[in-house]
């Protein structure tokens, strides 16, 4: 690229998003003259093989459409702007299996991935076919596959759509490419509610190659040619990097590569070295504390005192809940939100607040549910007073890279502290469920919408370590809005960190039960929450990678009923008729109302106790 650095917005518009920028197919053709394509040539995914540098190279690439490919609406739909669908991800999973079989045949194999995408496909069709689950399983596969891997962000890296094939042994990015938790327009809409504030979003997300290398998300920055149209220039640099990386990795033992992958995944998000070292000491690592509060009303819950209302007995409440005999605060089903313009379903029943909370935020008249915070879920799923919290005081100030802890983000965290009795969006600890001890991770939706950030990932990792040390099953409750975009790409890498924790649990034979609450979206459902040995959900839980509001804003049709847990659980039946397509994915195994989830979890815990945990003395003593 030119010696004069471009402003980040100019870089984004003139280089990264240039329609004349070389696409994956152009670079593959230049670098691999004997490339054999293994999938149809009319989509956003390129799969194929080439014999080069003394090895079989398996190439996986994302491709944005070229201008000449966009002549009709049908072309646009077919090429999908380089965003991979659930079908595409299924093909990648099968392609990785093929590469692994070649290894068993004694042929030296390497995997190369080229990334240029806005993100994963956000259509309802992909969502119904478990798009988020495919992303989680691909992250797992790239962490565990016994083959050397190399990835390069050649244009744009967006969200989990890029992350699914980017976490490799060697990771590079062109200096005029950008990689972020979401496309800049989407980031601006999420952070500022204004999609035009692209500059501000880019400055917060720190998506440039130099910034990402400092954050250890990539390990090499590749120089781009002066002209963005110079395909030969890009190909020469890329070919040189790939050849060196493939040959270097070929000299290393697979056991070493796997160990380095795991170590890197554990380290994601831990940047404040002195604090990190202190907090890794076992005494503080596993320190347990009782809950400070037993019940706290949601911050946005609309309540009222009955004396101030004009209500009709027999219409607004039932005889058994006559406000005259239940003094205190009340809520009205269908009118519970303090947020203006928020539409709610509900029957209009007036309920004592204490009764509503004791019923796990479910209206006893019509069954309408409201999003529940961590305290509510702990009370719902565990025995009374059994939960002890771990790492209560751990915050972004202990871990986050100083360049990401902006004044705006610090102010945001302060506001969230006022909304929640907890200091972060994940609450972890130990509890009992009908007397059986478990390690428990619960999302706190009232803190930043339960979003995943560096503290979320670190707390989940520490809980998994605790479960391993005590030989406990791990139970998680997902209720999350996705990755915390204010932390930039390090928040995205927590998907890798949590997946790595779960793969270690499974290597050690410990059970993981994943419970999906409403909502289960974004990075959480596309990582650890999709990897449960058993996956349970409340029937109305929204289970989707990209939220409906973002989908609608991007012009995609939305039908939320199709991506509620009850519908997805019914759809899970089709998995067993098409195991080749779904691979290890089994969808949602069972749905149960909130009041029954504790008993449902216990059913599976008993099964594990009686079948595979017979050597676990610590657990069996309970």
* 299 located within any domain: no
* Residue 511 lies inside a defined structural domain of this protein: yes
Q: Does 391 lie in the same domain as 482?
A: yes
CATH number at residue 166: 3.90.226.10
Q: What is the pTM of this model?
A: 0.92
Cβ neighbours of residue 49 under 8 Å, at least 6 residues apart? 35, 36, 38, 56, 57, 58, 59
pLDDT of residue 550: 74
What pLDDT score was predicted for residue 97?
Answer: 96
412 shares its domain with 344: no
Give the model's confidence band at 5: pLDDT under 50 very low, under 70 low, under 90 confident, else very high. Answer: low
pLDDT given at position 405: 87
The count of structural domains within the chain is 3
CA distance 534 to 512: 7
Residues 308, 423, single domain; the answer is: no
Does any domain span residue 559?
no
Residue 484, pLDDT > 70, answer yes
Question: Does one domain contain both 281 and 319?
Answer: no
405, 409, 412, 416 alpha-carbon torsion, rounded to 10°: -40
- Residue 558 confidence (pLDDT): 81
Query: Is 30 within the bounds of a domain?
Result: yes
Query: Is residue 54 a part of any domain in this protein?
Result: yes
On whether both 494 and 383 belong to a single domain, the answer is: yes
Q: Kindly state the percentage of the chain with pLDDT values over 70.
A: 90
Judge if 328 and 398 occupy the same domain. no
Domain that holds residue 312: 304-358
DSSP calls for 173-194: EETT-EEESS-HHHHHHHHHS-
Residue 282: predicted pLDDT: 47
325 in the same domain as 201? no
Same domain, 453 and 339: no
pLDDT single digits (tens) 61-114: 999 988 887 777 776 666 667 899 999 999 999 999 999 999 888 889 999 999
Residue 278 has pLDDT above 70, yes or no: no
pLDDT per position as a tens digit, 431-477? 999 999 999 999 999 999 999 999 999 999 999 999 999 999 999 99
Q: Write down the mean pLDDT value for the chain.
A: 89
317 pLDDT exceeds 70? no
- Residue from 24, 42, 4 nearest 156 by CA: 24
* 3-state SS assignment for residue 86: helix
Indicate the pLDDT class of residue 321, thresholds 50, 70 and 90. Answer: very low
Residues 344 and 454 in one domain: no
The answer to whether residue 621 sits within a structural domain is no
Q: Is residue 182 part of a domain?
A: yes
Closest by CA position to 119, among listed 153, 163, 78, 89 = 163
Burial of 274 (0-12, 13-18, 19+ CB in 10 A): exposed
48 vs 291, which has greater pLDDT?
A: 48
Q: What is the DSSP letter of 6?
A: P
- Residue 49: the pLDDT is 97
Q: How far apart are CA 566 and CA 234, in angstroms?
A: 48
Structure tokens at 190: 């999420």
- Span of 246-250, 336-340, 603-607 with lowest mean pLDDT: 336-340
Q: Say whether both 387 and 485 belong to one domain.
A: yes
**Sign of the four-CA dihedral 187, 190, 194, 199:** negative
Whether 185 has a pLDDT exceeding 60, the answer reads yes
Q: Are residues 21 and 99 in the same domain?
A: yes
pLDDT tens, position by position, 322-377:
444 445 789 999 999 888 766 678 899 999 999 999 999 999 999 999 999 999 99
Distance (Å, whole) CA 23 – CA 248: 26
The CA distance from 300 to 373, in Å, is: 11
Is 19 within the bounds of a domain?
Answer: yes
The alpha helices in 251-364, defined as continuous H runs, are 254-267, 273-279, 282-285, 353-358
Q: For 22-26, 69-73, 120-124, 585-589, which range has the lowest pLDDT when averaged over its residues?
A: 69-73
Compute the C-alpha angle 397/401/406, nearest 5°: 70
> Are residues 376 and 490 located together in one domain of the fold?
yes
192, two tokens? 């500022």
Please check the confidence at residue 319 and state whether its pLDDT lies above 50: no
Q: Which run of H or E residues covers position 590?
A: strand 590-591
Whole-angstrom distance, CA of residue 588 vs CA of residue 466 = 26
Instruction: State CA 21 to chain mean position distance.
Output: 30
């Amino acid at each position: 690229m030119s010696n004069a650095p471009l402003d980040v917005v100019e870089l984004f518009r003139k280089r990264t998003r240039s329609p004349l920028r070389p696409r994956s197919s152009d670079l593959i053709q230049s670098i691999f003259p004997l490339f054999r394509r293994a999938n149809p040539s009319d989509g956003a995914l390129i799969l194929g093989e080439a014999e080069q540098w003394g090895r079989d190279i398996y190439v996986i690439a994302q491709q944005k459409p070229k201008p000449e490919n966009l002549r009709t609406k049908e072309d646009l739909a077919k090429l999908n702007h380089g965003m991979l669908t659930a079908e595409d991800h299924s093909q990648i999973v099968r392609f990785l299996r093929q590469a692994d079989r070649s290894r068993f045949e004694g042929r030296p194999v390497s995997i190369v991935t080229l990334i240029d995408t806005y993100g994963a496909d956000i259509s309802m069709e992909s969502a119904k076919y478990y798009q988020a689950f495919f992303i989680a399983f691909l992250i797992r596969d790239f962490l565990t596959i016994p083959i050397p891997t190399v990835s390069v962000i050649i244009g744009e890296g967006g969200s989990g759509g890029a992350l699914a094939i980017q976490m490799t042994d060697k990771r590079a990015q062109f200096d005029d490419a950008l990689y972020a938790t979401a496309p800049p327009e989407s980031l601006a809409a999420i952070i500022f509610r204004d999609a035009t504030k692209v500059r501000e979003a880019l400055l917060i997300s720190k998506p440039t190659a130099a910034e990402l290398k400092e954050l250890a998300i990539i390990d090499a920055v590749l120089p781009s040619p002066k002209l963005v149209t110079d395909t030969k220039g890009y190909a020469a640099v890329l070919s040189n990097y790939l050849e060196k990386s493939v040959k270097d990795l070929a000299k290393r033992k697979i056991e070493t590569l796997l160990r380095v992958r795991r170590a890197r995944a554990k380290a994601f998000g831990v940047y404040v070295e002195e604090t990190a070292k202190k907090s890794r000491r076992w005494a503080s690592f596993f320190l347990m504390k009782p809950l400070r509060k037993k019940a706290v009303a949601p911050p946005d819950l609309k309540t009222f005192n009955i004396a101030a209302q004009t209500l009709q007995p027999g219409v607004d409440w039932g005889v058994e809940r006559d406000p005259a005999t239940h003094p205190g605060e009340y809520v009205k089903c269908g009118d519970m939100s303090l947020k203006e313009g928020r539409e709610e379903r509900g029957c209009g029943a007036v309920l004592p607040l204490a009764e509503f909370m004791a019923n796990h935020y479910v209206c006893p008249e019509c069954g309408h549910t409201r999003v529940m915070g961590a305290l509510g879920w702990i009370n719902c799923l565990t025995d009374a007073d059994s939960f002890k919290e771990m790492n209560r005081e751990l915050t972004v100030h202990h871990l986050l890279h100083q360049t990401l802890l902006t004044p705006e983000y610090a102010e945001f965290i302060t506001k969230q502290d006022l909304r929640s009795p907890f200091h972060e969006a994940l609450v972890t600890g130990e509890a009992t469920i009908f007397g059986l001890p478990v390690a428990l991770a619960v999302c706190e939706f009232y803190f930043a919408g339960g979003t995943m950030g560096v503290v979320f990932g670190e707390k989940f990792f520490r809980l998994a370590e605790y479960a391993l040390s005590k030989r406990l099953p791990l139970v998680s409750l997902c209720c999350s809005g996705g990755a915390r975009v204010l932390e930039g790409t390090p928040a995205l890498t927590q998907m890798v960190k949590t997946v790595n924790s779960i793969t270690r649990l499974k290597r050690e034979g410990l059970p993981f039960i994943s419970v999906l609450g409403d909502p289960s979206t974004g990075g959480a459902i596309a990582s650890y929450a999709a990897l449960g040995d058993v996956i349970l959900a409340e029937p109305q839980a929204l289970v989707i990678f990209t939220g409906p509001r973002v989908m609608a804003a991007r012009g995609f049709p939305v039908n939320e009923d199709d991506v509620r847990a009850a519908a997805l659980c019914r759809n899970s039946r089709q998995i067993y008729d098409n195991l080749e397509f779904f691979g290890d994915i089994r969808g949602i195994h069972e749905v149960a109302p909130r009041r029954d989830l504790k008993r449902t979890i216990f059913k599976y815990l008993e099964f594990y106790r009686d079948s595979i945990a017979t050597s676990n003395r610590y657990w069996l003593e309970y």
